[in-house]
Amino acid sequence: MIQILRRLRAATVILFTAVIILCPQRLRAQAQQPAWTSEERPIYEQIRHLRDLPDDVRAETTKQLALQIRQLPVAPNKLRLANALANLSTEGDFGHDTLQEVATTLAGALREAPVAQDKGRPAAPYVELAELVRYEHVQASLDDPQFAAATAKLEADDARRQNANFTLTDMQGKQWSLTELRGKVVLVNFWATWCPPCRKEMPDLDSLYQRFKDRGFVVLALSDEDAGKVKPFIAERNISYPVLLDPGDKVKDLFQVNGIPESFVYDRGGRLVAQSIDMRTQRQFLEMLGKAGLQ
């Protein structure tokens, strides 16, 4: 379940299931569509079309939807809506206040209607909330062992990423090794050609690479697709930073990446100092690089 959750971020068409949003590229067995009440359906429709809105409008709409969901009667659909909204709330720079309202709504819905574990692991909404708290720096109060377990899992994943290393080859045949880049600021980015949020952040990432590469900044963008698909894609978009192939998802699994895009920033000493669980804007990338001393 955790593996499915973050892969949904790249969806081009949103379909609601029992708990989460599925994307066509990762479509699994679907639960039957929920029966929405007259209060729930307008919220559902707005969430379904959030990606169609300009970013400034989307931020305010997301915040208002979080408040509207909070006022719904206790019902299974309330948690479905809260989790679906949270899943979409990190695709860009919508502001701390918006994310805080989203997290508060999701925590409240879980408090009202706890859900069972998924095969001995925390259910998806608990993971979603734990990621908001850890990586988006919002506050949430939830006295639930599943939330605690999800938080502990994220801490363990970060410890694993801190000691991660890999050697992969780029499109020009050059090998890159993470530990051999000590002394430079390194941003490891997981992406794919089919992923709309990945494509949206690439121009900003390339602009920052051009701006800082002479000051020791390296971007390593990893895709698990084949060269025949990746090479023309990056050539068409004039991407200048190194793009590496990760056949079999070996490095993605090493980093415990459950969806894309995700980015990890290492400082010159090789210390993991920042990461994102979704697409970032140029301002957000700059904030991440600032934690590595690059400004």
Contacts 24+ apart (CB under 8 A), 95-102: 95/59, 95/63, 96/136, 96/137, 96/138, 97/63, 98/59, 98/60, 98/62, 98/63, 98/66, 99/132, 99/136, 99/138, 100/138, 100/139, 101/63, 101/66, 101/67, 102/62, 102/63, 102/66, 102/132, 102/138
Tokens of 188: 């490891």
- Name the residue among 209, 198, 190 with its Cα closest to residue 263: 190
Reduced to 3 states (helix: H, G, I; strand: E, B; else coil), residue 138 is coil
What are the pLDDT tens digits along the chain (295 aa)?
A: 333 344 444 333 333 333 333 333 333 333 467 899 999 999 999 999 999 999 889 999 999 999 999 999 999 999 999 999 999 999 999 999 999 999 999 999 999 999 999 999 999 999 999 999 999 999 999 999 999 999 999 999 999 999 999 999 999 999 999 999 999 999 999 999 999 999 999 999 999 999 999 999 999 999 999 999 999 999 999 999 999 999 899 999 999 998 899 999 999 999 999 999 899 999 999 999 999 999 8
Q: How many domains does the chain have?
A: 2
Are residues 48 and 14 in contact, defined by beta-carbon separation less than 8 angstroms? yes
State the pLDDT at residue 34: 85
Residue 295 within any structural domain of the chain: no
Residue ending a domain, among 140, 159, 178, is 159
Residue 16 within any structural domain of the chain: yes
22 and 153 belong to one structural domain: yes
139 and 186 belong to one structural domain: no
State the pLDDT at residue 15: 36
State the pLDDT at residue 32: 60
Residue ending a domain, among 159, 178, 193, is 159
206 and 181 belong to one structural domain: yes
Residue 213 within any structural domain of the chain: yes
117 and 82 belong to one structural domain: yes
Distance, CA of 263 to CA of 282 (rounded, Å): 13
Residue 67 within any structural domain of the chain: yes
State the pLDDT at residue 27: 30
Give residues with Cβ within 8 angstroms of 104, minimum separation 6.
66, 70, 140
Question: Could you list the residue range(s) of the whole structural domain that residue 284 is in?
Answer: 167-290
177 and 250 belong to one structural domain: yes
Distance, CA of 206 to CA of 216 (rounded, Å): 15
10 and 126 belong to one structural domain: yes
State the pLDDT at residue 255: 95
**Strand 185-190 relative to strand 15-16, pairing:** unpaired
